[in-house]
Amino acid sequence: MPMNEKPQLSPFPKLALELGPLVLFFAANARWDIFVGTGVFMAAVLVAIVVSYTLTRHLPIMAIVSAVIVMVFGGLTIALQDKTFIMIKPTIIYVLFAAVLLGGLALRKPLLLLLFDQVFNLTEEGWRKLTLRWALFFLFQAVLNEIIRRTQSEAFWIGFKAFGVIPLNIAFAMLQYPLLVKYDSGAKREDQDVGAKPVSPDA
């Protein structure tokens, strides 16, 4: 491995660290209540951060921001015994991520490139369009979370977080596959090389 290349988690540990705190939150909420669930969630997020850093020796900036917001709003939820704070936490995170992505686009710096440069190999236009789509999707999720928390019961909101948010994100990510293929810079270079290859006189 090159000296400047950061170690990457394999898919299963990465998924476990990302979903583990949510699973524990839902389990604790089902067994006790949302306040106990919030405390368990906060502790699990901190453990996930420590384990992730131990394995990779670096932390993504979005993971750090998410953890800080969880600590702040989770702490307010427990201290004030007001579930509103933990329920509004996803809205804050979605709006913040959307603002960061849109700000990067305004500065002509598609920030998704920094996160997925080692995963996807897209053209500049491809990164710009993918970043815009995710920014708009984050805003959609922020609005959706506000609609659900304001109009539905606590049980429905928790159920949606457990069984709606993750499938929704997976479905949206899968819908981006045509864009990833269309703007694959590696494929475009191969096409250009083929087009530039001299034709054999025997052809």
Contact (CB, 8 A) for 45 and 61: no
Instruction: Work out the pLDDT band at 38, boundaries 50, 70, 90.
Output: very high
**What is the b/e burial string over 11-48, where b = at least 16 CB atoms within 10 angstroms of the residue's CB?**
eeeeeebeebbbebbbebbeeeebbebbbbbbebbeeb
CA distance 99 to 169: 18
Query: Per-residue pLDDT tens for 25-37?
Result: 888 888 898 899 9
Map residue 6 onto helix, strand or coil: coil
pLDDT of residue 60: 75
pTM of the model: 0.75
Query: Per-residue pLDDT tens for 144-170?
Result: 999 999 999 988 998 898 788 888 998
